[in-house]
Structure 1
């Protein structure tokens, strides 16, 4: 059986990406979507083992719905997946 590597999808232009360092030094790719205006904002946090910027999981579409309602979204790739270190 042969496996095909699928690279991460493109980062949304509506998000800011950060590499958040864990206690052991591994950095997790974290996309932050903020609504217009000054905060503070209520935040929805999600961690995914699937590509948050891929064709199947569309976090940017989910973020748009939350941003319209005044929520911020923080979406993070789990350890060792896509843009996160492992």
Structure 2
């Protein structure tokens, strides 16, 4: 899965979990400042992202991911590590 595909999936998650129009979202979009998402939506989105991408996002890492691009990069890194370990 490449960065563009991950971004598309994150946009879909934002629509499903937060009712956000995917067209309003790019990698620089901040969850709290730009989208005014609350912590419940962010937790729900994290759980759905873990399921959708098959990655683990520890709570301490999740709270440091403030933008869409940060989530995309984190997932991309996890998938790359897994592929390097022979998992994908």
Q: TM-score, normalised by structure 2?
A: 0.32
* Structure number with larger C-alpha Rg: 1
Q: TM-score, normalised by structure 1?
A: 0.32
Which structure: greater strand fraction? 1
